[in-house]
Amino acid sequence: MGERVGPYEVTELLAAGGMAEIFLGHKDGPGGFEKQLVIKRIAKKLLGDREIEHMFVDEARVQALLDHPNIVQIYDFGEDRGSYFMAMELVRGCTLRWTIDNANAVRRPIPMQHALRIAADVLCGLHYAHERADDDGKALKLIHRDISPVNVLISRAGIAKLCDFGVAKSEIQRVMTRAGIVKGKFRYMSPEQLNAGELDRRADLFAVGTVLWEMLTGRRLFDQQDEDDVVAAIRSGDYPAPSELRPGVPRPIDRILRKALHSNRDRRFRSAREFQLACEEILRMLPSASNSVLVGEYVSAELDGTAGLGVPTRRRQYTPENDSLLASGFEVLDPPVPSSPTTISNPPSADYADEGSDRVAPPPGLTGRVAGAMLMAPAVVFGGLGKAIEGIGSLFSPKRRDPEVRVTRTRMRD
């Protein structure tokens, strides 16, 4: 493109939604310095709309106060030719939306431990945002209000990051939501948010619960075709447990999701930290571990495996018809989801023990021991009678074996 936005050069348009345009850009410096980032600016069709401009400024002001590894960082904010822009962190990886869709396409569910790890990361960043105060110590009382899989990015380093605070509610915002107006993606809304009621941080915890439920089952919790049916399902409070759709999900996971998704917010977790610690405790007891290294390896393997399927790389093009499909703009960085499952062949099992094997050869039988004794006879002549007796005795004496060490893992109790 070659267009400049402030001090940054934009190379391509990634997405254009209802409010903003998102570009891939970079800033150059002396000595070959180059920093790649994402540029977000108000859509040209909305220039001059004071309410939209104030909302954009509110988003920048809020996100500038959030410095946390599980939140996408904002580097700069400015104005160029009558339009505000933000320079933001470029996360190399994929959205959680792609991760879920890819798992369904290749018929490999997201491992439970990784789903919990990703949810714990999001909750860690969310707790920081909920507790954040401004420089004067005044609590922001921030509520994200738009947590969904498209607003969670997962880097190849295995770090989940929450993004898009465009409709967040806080004490420093200048544009207040009018009564009766609902903001966010309604399939991930809590009952009180859907009813346009007074919100607190527990509405975000409900949204994280719906996202974790979706990671575990591979389907949306509220996936009805008709919007009225979605609203009725959310308000009903009668949600299936993940174990009903995915065998093997332990009951403690069902229990924490039952709490996070309770229709009565007083019965939910009191904070994102409490929800995070519940996920961490279950992670500690699962037979398979998860951490940023393992999540990064999982995400990278899925991304690289998709690239190796022979699916042609396609870049999503913006058209006025797909305006409503672009929720945050970051999902356009995702590779295409494979159209058919990949086949992974199991490696052949070895019929023998190599040097690195922990299998121990059986002790020789009586015949073998007698033959060994006969072979030791020359030692009487050449090595002395004492050494021969010692060698023969060692063949018939029971061998000392190293004590067997067995590692056990505590099983979870319902």
CA angle 379, 380, 384 (to 5 degrees): 90
Read off the pLDDT of each residue in 91-95 and give the average, rounded to a whole number.
93
Complete edge-to-edge strand list for the sheet that includes strand 160-162? 93-95, 152-155, 160-162
Which position has the higher pLDDT, 173 or 279? 279
404 to each of 287, 357, 399, how far by Cα in Å?
21, 15, 14
Output the pLDDT for position 254. Answer: 97
Q: Indicate whether 386 pLDDT > 90.
A: no
> 46 in helix, strand or coil?
helix
Read off the pLDDT of each residue in 19-34 and give the average, rounded to a whole number.
90
> How high does pLDDT run on average in the chain?
79
Contacts of 67 (CB under 8 A, 6+ apart): 73
Output the pLDDT for position 172. Answer: 78
Read off the pLDDT of each residue in 346-367 and give the average, rounded to a whole number.
44
Mean pLDDT: which of 163-167, 286-290, 398-402 is highest?
A: 286-290
183 — pLDDT class (breaks 50, 70, 90)? low
Q: Indicate whether 100 pLDDT > 70.
A: yes
Read off the pLDDT of each residue in 37-55 and give the average, rounded to a whole number.
87
CA atoms of 392 and 379, how far apart (whole Å): 10
208 — pLDDT class (breaks 50, 70, 90)? very high
CA atoms of 406 and 410, how far apart (whole Å): 13
Q: Indicate whether 279 pLDDT > 50.
A: yes
Output the pLDDT for position 1. Answer: 60
Read off the pLDDT of each residue in 285-304 and give the average, rounded to a whole number.
94
Which position has the higher pLDDT, 240 or 16? 240
93-333: which CATH architecture?
Answer: Orthogonal Bundle (1.10)
294 to each of 115, 278, 288, 337, 345, how far by Cα in Å?
12, 20, 10, 21, 21
CB atoms within 10 A of CB 119: 28
Enumerate the domain spans of the chain. 3-88, 93-333, 366-390
In one-letter notation, the amino acid at residue 74 is: I
Read off the pLDDT of each residue in 197-221 and give the average, rounded to a whole number.
96
- pLDDT, tens digit, for every residue of 132-155? 998 888 899 999 999 999 999 999
Contacts of 154 (CB under 8 A, 6+ apart): 91, 93, 94, 95, 96, 99, 118, 160, 161, 295, 299
Closest residue by Cα to residue 96 from 186, 211, 190, 183: 211
In one-letter notation, the amino acid at residue 205 is: L
Closest residue by Cα to residue 239 from 258, 226, 266, 220: 258
Structure tokens given for 273: 């930290």
129 — pLDDT class (breaks 50, 70, 90)? very high
Which position has the higher pLDDT, 52 or 215? 215
CA atoms of 102 and 338, how far apart (whole Å): 7
Read off the pLDDT of each residue in 246-275 and give the average, rounded to a whole number.
96
Closest residue by Cα to residue 243 from 101, 109, 96: 109
Structure tokens given for 183: 């903001």
Output the pLDDT for position 123. Answer: 98
Q: Indicate whether 35 pLDDT > 60.
A: yes
Q: Using the CB atoms, write b or e for 73-84: b if 16+ within 10 Å.
A: bbebbeeeeebb
Read off the pLDDT of each residue in 97-106 and give the average, rounded to a whole number.
94
179 to each of 51, 166, 185, 191, 198, how far by Cα in Å?
16, 18, 18, 16, 10
Range in 218-222, 300-304, 322-326, 378-382 the model is least confident about: 322-326
Read off the pLDDT of each residue in 84-109 and give the average, rounded to a whole number.
94
402 to each of 276, 360, 393, how far by Cα in Å?
42, 11, 20
Output the pLDDT for position 278. Answer: 97
H or E element: which one contains 123?
Answer: helix 112-131
- Quick one: what percent of the chain has pLDDT higher than 70? 70
253 to each of 188, 269, 280, how far by Cα in Å?
19, 14, 11
Read off the pLDDT of each residue in 384-410 and give the average, rounded to a whole number.
49
Q: Indicate whether 255 pLDDT > 80.
A: yes
Output the pLDDT for position 344. Answer: 44
Read off the pLDDT of each residue in 30-56 and give the average, rounded to a whole number.
89
CA atoms of 217 and 213, how far apart (whole Å): 6
Which position has the higher pLDDT, 1 or 186? 186
The catalytic residue positions are 146
Which CATH topology does 3-88 take?
A: Phosphorylase Kinase; domain 1 (3.30.200)
Output the pLDDT for position 335. Answer: 64
Read off the pLDDT of each residue in 15-36 and give the average, rounded to a whole number.
87
405 — pLDDT class (breaks 50, 70, 90)? very low
Q: Report yes or no: 67 and 73 within 8 Å, Cβ to Cβ.
A: yes
CA atoms of 370 and 271, how far apart (whole Å): 73
